[in-house]
């Protein structure tokens, strides 16, 4: 029998809410602008309205649901159920979103970092099925990732989320807000690529890829991003030692073969790990990864 | 009531066997030369003799024991109970040490990579008590490490051990047998330091530290090792996000403050992790870490 849940994917710009069943099928979906600076009460009202809307659209009732899963642009505290992301969600500092939605819905509500939620989605419904350890890396506007062990989210100190995008790869590289220079994100993110292309009038990462491989500067910027991803792959192989690395994100999915070739070369070169079965695969859930992954959180803990 | 076990620490050069109780106290201990090239049957006979000897010395009987724990220079396969380390233990390829000792003793026998065994020992009896996630890094002749989550060993694909010593830190650095250049071990191990000092007639890592800080070359080599350890710390913070990092190994323990200062600086600089409670501490079990950690494996699984 198919179970039902609501997935909520909260980003700095947009929030998506969807009705998803336990086969991963999306029955209804709505998107609105997050505008966190209006404060948390206004955001909560939007969420509540959207939940009722997708329930209505899918013909589901609140009391049929297993629960509500939230993937939110981190940092979040999954144990306390609170958001503390002043950069991307200003106005929602320390918002106790889990208690608020639990109170309103009467349901179990689970909050995770969005990268963790997406990883759970890929593990349950996408490219990560049956893989352990599993690392899901997303290369897009930013670079992030998550690790799952037997389908369970790897948590660091205080239950928080490791920031794989800030793995160091190039000493003396671009300065990053994370506190170091030359981390993976500072070299491979869309933001980093745009920034590197600016002095040469290259535009955003999409324009840089369009100019590849003819334009020498574009080539250099893309090679730098690919090399950074290759080095970060070596790090992942020698820390989590995953059975599978899923590459996702806007850039990672659009240019999967380019990045995957460099990542697989690292796997082949490694002598100290049982590498023969390490797989590099493309994310499968696409643009709905966020809401589907969030919804999967509700199944994850009820139906393991 | 105190439980009893036998710990075995197998290295390329020496093997230690000890009688250890569940408070971590060592009751008897013997050491012999491994000489794996004589073949596994000869090694097994030595192990058997040594087990009986430490039982005799401690006044314990075989049937009082919880089990036998083995920490062995990896790669080993903990699930199959086999050793496959042709570099350090030639002549013991695919040796099924767990079955052999189980058959002989009638006891539960557990095999782990030596770094994992030492980490379990530190978690249970040493500097790692109650810490999760816990990373134990050893900087000595080589560089290695292990990660524990809630006291359980982090296992990679096929149950195998990640090789933290081969985290990349300096692109284009010294070539390593691991398949890359500039990994942590290639810059910070005793072997790497000796090699770097050779052209300047500096001798081994002990001699290099003795010449520090007056000798410019010694200073450069040591700074390189310290910087590599700092970068690897940043990697550990952004992958496992540990509550505590224990630094051990011959060099790590002898020069703990030098390394720890650089590691703590990384913790302070990081902005994307809940760093306030990340601790950098010295290993506590010293030269007996191997056998005590190995013995702890037997308690780990019987008395969690």
The per-residue pLDDT of chain B, averaged, comes to 94
Q: Does A160 touch chain B (CB under 8 A)?
A: yes
Q: Does A161 touch chain B (CB under 8 A)?
A: yes
Beta bridge partners of B112: B71
Same domain, B131 and B252: yes
For residues B178 and B142, is the Cβ–Cβ distance under 8 A?
no
Chain A residues near residue B180 by CB distance under 8 angstroms: 234, 266, 269-270
Same domain, A147 and A63: no
CA nearest to A74 within chain B: B272
pLDDT score, position B276: 81
The more confidently predicted of residues B1 and B98 is: B98
The Cα–Cα gap between B136 and B120 comes to 9
Which A positions 255-274 lie with beta carbon below 8 A of chain B?
266, 269-274
pLDDT reading at B303 higher than 80? no
Distance from CA of B265 to the nearest CA of A (A): 11
Same domain, B48 and B132: no
Question: Predicted ipTM?
Answer: 0.92
Chain A residues near residue B158 by CB distance under 8 angstroms: 274, 277
pLDDT reading at B96 higher than 70? yes
DSSP state of A166: G
pLDDT reading at B302 higher than 60? no
Chain mean position to CA A248: 8
pLDDT score, position A298: 93
Same domain, A212 and A198: yes
B26-33 and B14-21 strand pairing: antiparallel
* B231, B243, B269 ranked by CB distance to A157: nearest: B243
Same domain, A153 and A235: yes
Q: Give which of B171, B112, B165, B33 is closest to B294, Cα–Cα.
A: B112
Segment holding A136, helix H or strand E? strand A134-139
- The angle at the Cα of A136, spanning A229 to B179, to the nearest 5 degrees, equals 45
Q: Is the dihedral angle over the CA atoms A234, A236, A239, A242 positive or is it negative?
A: negative
pLDDT score, position A303: 38
User: Count of A–B CB contacts within 8 Å?
Assistant: 148
- The pLDDT confidence band at residue B73, using thresholds 50, 70 and 90, is confident
Segment holding B17, helix H or strand E? strand B14-21
> What percent of chain B lies above the pLDDT cut of 70?
99
pLDDT reading at B301 higher than 70? no
Distance from CA of B172 to the nearest CA of A (A): 10
User: What CATH number is attached to the domain comprising A80?
Assistant: 3.30.420.40
Whether B120 is covered by a domain: the verdict is no
Same domain, B134 and B251: yes
* B162, B163, B239 ranked by CB distance to A167: nearest: B239
pLDDT reading at B253 higher than 60? yes
Q: Give which of B284, B283, B280 is closest to B248, Cα–Cα.
A: B283
Q: Does A279 touch chain B (CB under 8 A)?
A: no
* B156, B243, B272 ranked by CB distance to A133: nearest: B156
Same domain, A103 and A138: no
Which structural domain, as residue segments, surrounds residue B204?
127-283
Q: Does A182 touch chain B (CB under 8 A)?
A: no
Judge: A163–B277 Cβ closer than 8 Å, yes or no: no
- In three-state secondary structure terms, A165 is helix
Angle, helices A216-239/B216-239, rounded to nearest 10 degrees: 80
pLDDT reading at B256 higher than 60? yes
Same domain, A153 and A252: yes
Cβ within 8 Å of residue A187, ≥6 positions away:
A169, A170, A173, A174, A224, A225, A227, A228
User: In total, how many domains does chain B have?
Assistant: 2
Chain mean position to CA A87: 17
Could you give phi then psi for residue B69, rounded to 5 degrees?
-110, 140
CA nearest to B178 within chain A: A271
Judge: A178–B243 Cβ closer than 8 Å, yes or no: no
Mean pLDDT of B101-114: 95
Same domain, A137 and A251: yes
* B155, B162, B241 ranked by CB distance to A162: nearest: B241
Per-residue CA distances from B254 to A134, A181, B139, B206 (Å):
37, 30, 10, 10
Distance from CA of A272 to the nearest CA of B (A): 6
Same domain, B202 and B176: yes
Whether B57 is covered by a domain: the verdict is yes
- The pLDDT confidence band at residue B158, using thresholds 50, 70 and 90, is confident
DSSP of B81-100: TEE--TTTSTT-TTB-HHHH
Buried b (16+ CB within 10 A) or exposed e, A238-274: bbbbbbbbbbbbebbbebbebbbebbbebbeebebbb
Give the mean pLDDT per block of 10 residues along chain A (304 residues): 93 94 96 94 96 98 96 88 85 92 96 94 95 96 94 91 95 95 97 95 95 95 98 98 96 97 97 88 92 93 44
Same domain, A15 and A110: yes
Chain A residues near residue B240 by CB distance under 8 angstroms: 154, 156, 162, 239
The Cα–Cα gap between B128 and B257 comes to 18
Same domain, A235 and A212: yes
A143-149 and A152-153 strand pairing: antiparallel
DSSP of A214-282: TSHHHHHHHHHHHHHHHHHHHHHHHHT--SEEEEESHHHHHTHHHHHHHHHHHHHH--SS-GGG-EEEE
pTM: 0.93
DSSP state of B183: B
Question: Count of alpha carbons within 13 Å of B158, Cβ hemisphere only?
Answer: 14
Chain A residues near residue B161 by CB distance under 8 angstroms: 241
pLDDT score, position B159: 87
């Amino acid at each position: 029998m198919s179970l039902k849940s609501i997935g909520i994917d909260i980003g700095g710009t947009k929030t998506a809410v969807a009705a998803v069943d336990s086969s991963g099928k999306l029955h209804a979906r709505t998107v609105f602008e997050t505008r966190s600076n209006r404060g948390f009460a206004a955001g909560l009202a939007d969420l509540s309205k959207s939940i009722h809307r997708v329930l209505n659209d899918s013909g589901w009732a609140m009391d049929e649901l297993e629960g509500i899963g939230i993937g939110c642009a981190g940092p979040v505290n999954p144990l306390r159920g609170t958001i503390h992301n002043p950069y991307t969600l200003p106005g929602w500092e320390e918002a106790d979103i889990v208690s608020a939605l639990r109170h309103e819905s009467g349901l179990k509500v689970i909050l995770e970092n969005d990268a963790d939620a997406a990883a759970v989605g890929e593990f349950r419904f996408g490219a990560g099925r049956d893989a352990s350890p599993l690392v899901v890396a997303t290369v897009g506007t930013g670079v992030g990732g998550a690790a799952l062990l037997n389908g369970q989210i790897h948590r660091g100190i205080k239950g928080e989320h490791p920031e794989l995008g800030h793995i160091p790869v190039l000493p003396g590289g671009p300065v990053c807000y994370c506190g170091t220079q030359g981390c993976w994100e500072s070299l491979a993110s869309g933001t980093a690529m745009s920034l590197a292309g600016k002095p040469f009038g290259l535009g955003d990462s999409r324009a840089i890829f369009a100019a590849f491989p003819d334009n020498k500067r574009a080539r250099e910027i893309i090679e730098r991003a690919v090399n950074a991803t290759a080095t970060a792959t070596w790090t992942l192989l020698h820390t989590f030692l995953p059975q599978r690395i899923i590459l996702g994100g806007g850039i990672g999915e659009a240019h999967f073969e380019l990045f995957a070739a460099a990542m697989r070369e690292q796997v082949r070169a490694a002598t100290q790990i049982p590498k023969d079965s390490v797989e590099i695969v493309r994310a499968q859930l696409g643009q709905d990864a966020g809401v589907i992954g969030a919804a999967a959180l509700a199944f994850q803990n009820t139906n393991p």
